[in-house]
Amino acid sequence: MYHQILHDTKKRGIDVSDVKLNLKQMMAAKNTSVDGLTKGVEFLFKKNKVEYIKGSAAFSGENEVKVNLIDGGEQTLRGKNIFIATGSEATPFPGLTIDEKKVVTSTGAIALESVPKKMVVIGGGIIGLEMGSVWSRLGSEVTVVEFLGQIGGPGMDAEISKTTKKILEKQGMKFKLGTKVLKGDSSGEGVKLEVEAAKGGKAETLDADVVLVAIGRRPYTAGLGLENIGLEVDNKGRLIIDEQYRTKLPHIRVIGDCTFGPMLAHKAEEEGVAAVEFVKKGYGHVNYNAIPSVMYTHPEVAWVGQNEAELKEQGVKYKVGSFPFSANSRAKTNLETEGMVKFVADAETDRILGIHIVGPNAGEMIAEGVLAIEYGASSEDVGRTSHAHPTLAEAFKEAAMATYGKAIHY
């Protein structure tokens, strides 16, 4: 909003003067939101008669966990069925000590006390871009250093990734792709990072007030006492489970970030439901091909299903249709014309295989795509569905039309 008031409102006929950022108040508002959501979960526990024991737990037996209570003391709990959902933590960068002040993870990045003049983000994945985008819009000079040749991580479609990079660069963010960080020094007032091209080249030094380490997340299972019951993790630290979320001890099931699949809250939510259904009913299901990914930058990026590179690798024949927001009525009116909607459908059957969006409201719009994929829709099914005018959703329909035929308005 701050960024919009500074850059957009004048064009729309609203003169705002003396715009100031009150970061303390902004953080207080953020804390209120977080507290509200956390208390909401506690309320649901109470409402559904779920006992909430606060502490850190470790397995002391196959059916027993010992809890070190936050309020002091220890409690032993026994369970016929036990679910592990301990989540993940930021992967640290070797050679840089995280202090959550100068060298921060996403946890520290949402609690900075002032806007850093210069910020370097190590890792151009979703978390790095989201946090970098936030501080860039609040006035920080942000440079993203990414080892790979594209931003957004492996799931993002290459064309969408390129478009997103262009948009973010226009907003002032800088990118160093195909670049590796050799070492860092945070002993001085700021942080110095030595970087060089991944393929080898001349090293250079980047200065920053704050360095955000966002090279990925790893499963969090430390202190869980897995060794006490012989549970195994794979080479990435993920707990090994079968298709029913069971570990090798069948009454212990695992869901969420600490096991296979994308590290997303809504994926964990689906798994939680399916795992309980397996216990209670003997069956359950999660469609891993219909889990949406959303990057909350401005504009947002969202996708579901497979991207072009993945389909090429699998040798699947596909067709592509896209529609730019610059040709969409509402996007034009709102002066938010950057980005596009892109469909990838099976060349023979027209079944939708993937949907990729960068642009205004992408995170909300992808829900329609998830539904289409879940129901096994064709691009023609979506293209022949009426979408209200004038809405951003029309771009979605037009992209579907472009996939099986031709978009009307482009």
Partner 1 sequence: MRPTRLLFARMSMIKFIGKRVPPNTITPAAPADEPAPHPASPSHSLPDSFINYRSKAQQHGPLGGHNRPSSSQHSSSSSPPPPPSSTNPSHAYGGIGGHSGHELGGVEPGAGRGEVWDRSELPERFGRLAWTEDEIEAVELGGANLRAGWGGS
Task: Compare residues 99 and 243 and give the one whose CB is closer to partner 1.
Answer: 243
319 binds partner 1 (CB under 8 A): no
Q: Determine whether 389 is an active site residue.
A: yes
Which helix (H) or strand (E) covers residue 301, if one does?
Answer: strand 300-305
Please enumerate in sequence order all residues whose Cβ is within 8 A of that of 318, keeping only pairs 6 or more positions apart, or say none. 308, 311, 344, 345, 346, 347, 353
349 binds partner 1 (CB under 8 A): yes
Question: Across-strand partners of 274?
Answer: none
Stretch that binds partner 1, among 49-57, 172-180, 239-247, 331-339 (CB under 8 A): 239-247
Single-letter amino acid code for the residue at 52: Y
Q: Which residues of 311-320 are buried (b: 16+ CB within 10 A; e: fewer)?
A: beeeeeebbb
Query: How far, in Å, CA of 81 to CA of 202, rounded?
Result: 56
Q: Is 13 left (phi over 0), alpha (psi -120 to 50) or beta?
A: left
CB of 240 vs partner 1, minimal distance in Å: 6
Residues with Cβ within 8 Å of residue 129, at least 6 apart in sequence: 121, 144, 151, 152, 164, 168, 295, 297
Q: Is 323 in the site for partner 1 (CB under 8 A)?
A: no
User: Is 323:350 a contact under the CB 8 Å cutoff?
Assistant: no
241 touches partner 1 (CB under 8 A): yes
Which of 49-57, 142-150, 227-235, 313-321 is the region at the interface with partner 1 (rule: CB under 8 A)? 227-235
Q: Which of residues 372-391 bind partner 1 (CB under 8 A)?
A: 375-378, 380-381, 384
Question: Distance (Å, rounded) from C-alpha 321 to C-alpha 374?
Answer: 20
- Please identify which residue in 35, 42, 242, 269 interacts with partner 1, judged by CB under 8 A: 242
Selected from 59, 93, 135, 245, the binder of partner 1 by CB under 8 A is: 245
- 303 touching partner 1, by CB under 8 A: no
Nearer of residues 79 and 376 to partner 1, judged by Cβ: 376
* Stretch of residues binding partner 1 (CB under 8 A), selected from 5-13, 134-142, 190-198, 345-353: 345-353
**Per CB under 8 A, 288 contacts partner 1:** yes
**DSSP code at position 73:** S
Could you tell me how many residues of this chain bind partner 1 (CB under 8 A)? 33
81 binds partner 1 (CB under 8 A): no
Select 132 or 219, whichever has its Cβ closest to partner 1: 219
- Supply the Cα-derived Rg of the chain in whole angstroms: 23
Q: In this structure, which long-range contacts are made by residues 42-46, counting pairs with CB atoms below 8 Å and at least 24 apart in sequence? A: none
Q: Please, which residue, 30 or 236, has the CB nearer to partner 1?
A: 236
Least distance CB 60 / partner 1 (angstroms): 19
Tokens at 157, concatenated: 């479609």
Taking the complex as a whole, the smallest distance from the CB of residue 292 to partner 1 amounts, in Å, to 15
- Distance between CA atoms of residues 321 and 406, nearest Å: 9
Task: Choose, from 7, 266, 285, 389, the residue flagged as catalytic.
Answer: 389
CA distances from 231 to 89, 200, 221, 248 (A): 20, 41, 11, 7
* Of 141 and 381, CB closest to partner 1: 381
Q: Please tell me what DSSP assigns to residue 112.
A: -
Residue placing its CB nearer to partner 1 in the complex, 96 or 126: 126
Catalytic residues: 389
Residues that bind partner 1 in the complex, under the rule CB under 8 A: 230, 232, 234, 240-246, 248-251, 259-262, 281-283, 286, 288, 349-351, 375-378, 380-381, 384
